[in-house]
């Protein structure tokens, strides 16, 4: 019962596509789990089910043992979940700083009335500046989010999630669109966050970085977890190789 | 001041309250409403009935704000179910339902409206001062909300509600708050209008009014309190100056609305900012 996050036999169907098929996952506090799988395996869908953006047709999501399947996204985030979107979703008309300040002010935005009687942004601004420095966006605070290239928007996505002070951080392809050096840095930043006792689930196609930083890997294929364990063991699993046939990703990871 | 000027300033003040309050909903929070006239009307009728029954100005104005807000929160609940482009259509429907309903109710005076509204006791000048004071308070409230965390969160919800939800924002409660506050102010404006004319019919709150108000918001600059307030003043005075405009109000305001959205989505406030920004550059 010590799992910080548990997905129990979650299934969800979009028209003719069974995106999740009784997917189950248990994550202990402090773990750093890489969630991999071919395109269309259901990785994004699983993260969306965990955060409540999608409701599973059947199955449950548990946070620290409590069933949150019917709670809103905001309620789950307030209990320590945070998600970065695969397709970045910045507030484009706001500055980079304001994007992060809003997240950092989650105490102040707990309800409209409470928010109405709060004006000061001092402490949130300070915290947001520090986080932006940490993800490598120092110096871009005053720019409009709209003006950032994709690589930096990926970092902004991470910065906003970190500003929520999550206990469980869900990252959907945070390294996509970054060059080799940037990906390395970003992966290190994520590893450092995990080292400060934040549980991390990392969905990523960059297997080189996943193998480097994650201590456990779960493989999703056709909506189900088909393999789960230590990185080397999972990579040697014939089922995983089969799942990736034609995808060419494992060959790359071996290189 | 002539009676004409007093009456004109009163109407200007009422329109400023209406446009600035609509801006809270459509500008700050991004919930495009083409039914603000209905909340304005609900407030006017509630205030008129209360005035007739109690002869109490404060009570009547409070009743106007409360009833406007109640209807607003009900429509706000609808906004939780529909995407924003459908909300515009839904609110048009609300406006037509409202005027259609009122015209059929004998207890609301039917087609004849309510004509026995007692005077406020303040006189025409007093009424005008009260209206202008309420307009200033509305502007001040709007400026404050924009500075507060509520306004900050409204902007996030207006831009991308799913992204806001992932940042711990309870989107539904913020939308309801925007509707609740914005329509309370519209209801208050309705109460002030009832005392100003002492005679109301459904025609004063029809769809054309809603289009005119949204035109003020868009032309002033969605989200800009001052821009919207100035647009409300100008667009109220313009048809007075150019009489024939009055006969084609829907055409003129609707046309301006569409033109502005196509050519300058930032409105006058946006154009003004661009101008300042350009002249500030070396
Ligand atoms: N909102 C949706 N509507 C319809 N189909 C969807 C939707 N979201 C995902 N899918 C489908 O579900 C499957 C899993 O998608 P996704 O979770 O995005 O995969 P991954 O992130 O692993 O690439 C895909 O076949 C995708 O086309
Ligand atoms: Mg995906």
B192: in domain: yes
Q: What distance in angstroms lies between residue A109's CA and the mean position of ligand 2's atoms?
A: 29
Alpha carbon separation from B26 to A47, B19, B176, B223 (Å, rounded): 32, 10, 12, 8
Query: Does residue B37 carry a pLDDT above 50?
Result: yes
Name beta bridge partners: B94: none
Tell me what pLDDT residue A253 has. 44
Q: What distance in angstroms lies between residue A218's CA and the mean position of ligand 2's atoms?
A: 15
Please name the residue that has the structure tokens 């965390």. B149
Minimal C-alpha gap between B194 and chain A (Å): 30
Inter-chain touch B165–A82, beta carbons under 8 Å: no
Q: What distance in angstroms lies between residue A199's CA and the mean position of ligand 1's atoms?
A: 25
Domains of chain A: 1-80+166-183+199-255 (3.40.50.300), 90-165 (no CATH)
A200 Cβ below 6 A of ligand 1: no
User: What DSSP string describes B7-52?
Assistant: HHHHHHHHHHHHHHHHIIIIIIS----S-HHHHHHHHHHHHHHHHH
Alpha carbon separation from A206 to A46, A239, B265 (Å, rounded): 19, 20, 41
The mean pLDDT value of chain B amounts to: 91
Bigger pLDDT: B49 vs B243? B49
Inter-chain touch B152–A164, beta carbons under 8 Å: no
Q: Return the residue whose CA atom lies nearest to atom 17 of ligand 1.
A: A42
Cβ-contact B23, B142 below 8 angstroms: yes
B229: in domain: no
B146, B155, B168, B166: which is closest to B226 by C-alpha? B146
For chains A and B, count residue pairs whose Cβ atoms are closer than 8 Å: 91
Please name the residue that has the structure tokens 């840095």. A185
B233: in domain: no
Q: What distance in angstroms lies between residue A255's CA and the mean position of ligand 1's atoms?
A: 29
Angle between helices B3-22 and B171-197 (to 10 degrees): 170
**CA A185 to chain centroid:** 17
CA pair distance A207, B126, nearest whole angstrom:
75
Minimal C-alpha gap between A105 and chain B (Å): 8
**In what order do the strands lie in the sheet containing A32-36?**
A81-84, A168-172, A199-203, A32-36, A216-221, A224-229
| A98: nearest CA partner in chain B | B152
Query: Does residue B13 carry a pLDDT above 70?
Result: yes
How do residues B17-29 score in pLDDT, each as one tens digit? 999 999 999 999 9
Cβ-contact A69, A93 below 8 angstroms: no
Tell me what pLDDT residue B279 has. 64
B262: in domain: no
Query: Does residue B282 carry a pLDDT above 50?
Result: no
Q: Give the residue from B168, B223, B273 with the most A CB atoms within 10 Å of its CB, the best one to mutate.
A: B168
Q: In this prediction, what percent of chain B has a pLDDT beyond 90? A: 76
CA pair distance A225, A8, nearest whole angstrom:
11
Minimal C-alpha gap between B149 and chain A (Å): 5
Interface of A with B in 77-116 (CB under 8 A): 77-78, 82-83, 85, 89-94, 98, 101-103, 105-106, 108-116
Minimal C-alpha gap between A137 and chain B (Å): 19
Q: What distance in angstroms lies between residue A54's CA and the mean position of ligand 2's atoms?
A: 14
Tell me what pLDDT residue A52 has. 95
CA pair distance B257, B75, nearest whole angstrom:
23
Inter-chain touch B148–A94, beta carbons under 8 Å: no
Ligand nearest to the CA of A87: 2
A43 Cβ below 6 A of ligand 1: yes
A17 Cβ below 6 A of ligand 1: yes
Inter-chain touch B167–A115, beta carbons under 8 Å: no
Inter-chain touch A89–B155, beta carbons under 8 Å: no
B183: in domain: yes
A19 Cβ below 6 A of ligand 1: yes
Cβ-contact B156, B35 below 8 angstroms: no
Tell me what pLDDT residue A252 has. 47
CA pair distance A69, A52, nearest whole angstrom:
7
B152: chain A residues, CB-CB within 8 Å: 98, 101-102, 105, 109, 115
B160: chain A residues, CB-CB within 8 Å: 89, 91
Q: Return the residue whose CA atom lies nearest to atom 26 of ligand 1.
A: A40
pTM of the model: 0.91
B246: in domain: no
Alpha-carbon dihedral sign for residues B184, B102, B195, B117: negative
What is the rounded average pLDDT of the residues B139-163?
96
Bigger pLDDT: A173 vs B85? A173
pLDDT band at B119; cut points 50, 70, 90: very high
B72: in domain: yes
Tell me what pLDDT residue A1 has. 54
Q: Give the tokens for residue B43.
A: 């407030």
- Other CB atoms within 10 A of residue A172 CB: 22
A39 Cβ below 6 A of ligand 1: yes
How do residues B94-104 score in pLDDT, each as one tens digit? 999 999 999 99
Tell me what pLDDT residue B280 has. 61
Nearest to A118 among B148, B168, B169 (CB): B148
How do residues B251-276 score in pLDDT, each as one tens digit? 888 888 888 777 777 777 777 777 66
CA pair distance A167, B246, nearest whole angstrom:
61
pLDDT tens series, chain A, 255 aa = 589 999 999 999 999 999 999 999 999 999 999 999 999 999 999 999 999 999 999 999 999 999 999 999 999 999 999 999 999 999 999 999 999 999 999 999 999 999 999 999 999 999 999 999 999 999 999 999 999 998 899 999 999 999 999 999 999 999 988 889 989 999 999 999 999 999 999 999 999 999 999 999 999 999 999 999 999 999 888 888 887 765 545 444 443
Inter-chain touch B149–A106, beta carbons under 8 Å: no
Q: Which domain holds residue B33?
A: 3-205
B259: in domain: no
Q: How many domains does one find in chain B?
A: 1
* Residues sharing a CB contact under 8 Å with residue A100, sequence separation 6 or more, in sequence order: A128, A131, A132, A156, A159, A160, A163
Mean pLDDT is lowest, of B93-97, B200-204, B241-245, B253-257, for B241-245
SS3 of residue A200 by DSSP: strand
């Amino acid at each position: 019962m010590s799992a910080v996050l548990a997905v129990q036999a979650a299934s969800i169907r979009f028209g003719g596509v069974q995106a999740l098929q009784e997917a189950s996952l248990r994550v202990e506090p402090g773990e750093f789990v890489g969630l991999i799988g071919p395109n269309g395996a259901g990785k994004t869908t699983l993260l969306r089910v965990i955060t409540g953006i999608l409701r599973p047709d059947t199955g449950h999501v548990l946070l620290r043992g409590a069933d949150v399947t019917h709670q809103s996204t905001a309620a789950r985030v307030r209990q320590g979940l945070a998600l970065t979107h695969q397709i970045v979703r910045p507030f484009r008309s706001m500055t980079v700083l304001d994007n992060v300040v809003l997240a950092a002010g989650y105490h102040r935005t707990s309800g409209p009335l409470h928010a109405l009687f709060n004006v000061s942004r001092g402490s949130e601004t300070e915290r947001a500046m520090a986080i932006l420095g940490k993800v490598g966006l120092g110096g871009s605070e005053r720019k409009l989010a709209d003006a950032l290239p994709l690589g930096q928007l990926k970092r902004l996505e991470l910065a906003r999630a970190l500003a929520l002070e999550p206990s469980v951080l869900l990252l959907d392809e945070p390294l996509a669109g970054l060059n080799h050096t940037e990906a390395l840095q970003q992966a290190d930043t994520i590893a450092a966050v995990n080292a400060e006792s934040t549980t991390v689930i990392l969905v990523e196609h960059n297997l080189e970085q996943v193998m480097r930083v994650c201590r456990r890997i779960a493989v999703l294929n056709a909506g189900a977890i088909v393999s789960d364990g230590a990185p080397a063991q999972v990579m040697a699993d014939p089922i995983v190789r089969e799942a990736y046939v034609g995808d060419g990703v494992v060959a790359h990871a071996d290189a | 001041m002539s009676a004409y000027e007093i009456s004109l300033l009163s109407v200007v003040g009422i329109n400023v309250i209406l446009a600035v309050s609509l801006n809270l909903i459509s500008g700050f929070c991004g919930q495009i409403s083409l039914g603000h006239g209905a909340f304005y009307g609900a407030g006017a009728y509630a205030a008129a009935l209360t005035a007739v029954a109690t002869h109490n100005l404060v009570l009547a104005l409070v009743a106007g704000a409360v009833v406007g807000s109640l209807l607003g929160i009900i429509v706000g609940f609808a906004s939780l179910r529909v995407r924003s482009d459908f909300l515009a259509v839904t609110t048009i429907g609300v406006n037509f339902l409202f005027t259609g309903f009122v015209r059929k109710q004998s207890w609301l005076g039917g087609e004849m409206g309510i004509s026995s509204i007692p005077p406020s006791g303040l006189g025409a000048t007093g009424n005008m001062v009260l209206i202008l004071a309420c307009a200033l308070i509305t502007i001040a409230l709007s400026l404050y909300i924009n500075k507060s965390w509520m306004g900050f969160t409204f902007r996030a919800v207006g831009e991308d509600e799913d992204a806001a939800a992932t940042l711990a924002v309870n989107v539904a409660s913020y939308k309801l708050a925007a509707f609740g506050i914005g329509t309370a102010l519209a209801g208050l404006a309705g109460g002030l209008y009832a005392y100003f004319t002492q005679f109301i019919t459904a025609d004063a709150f029809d769809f054309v009014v809603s289009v005119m108000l949204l035109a003020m918001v868009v032309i002033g600059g969605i989200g800009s309190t001052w821009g919207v307030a100035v647009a409300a003043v100008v667009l109220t005075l313009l048809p007075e100056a150019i009489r024939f405009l009055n006969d084609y109000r829907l055409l003129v305001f609707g046309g301006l609305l569409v033109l502005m959205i196509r050519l300058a989505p930032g409105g006058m406030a946006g154009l003004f900012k661009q101008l300042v920004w350009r002249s500030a550059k070396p």
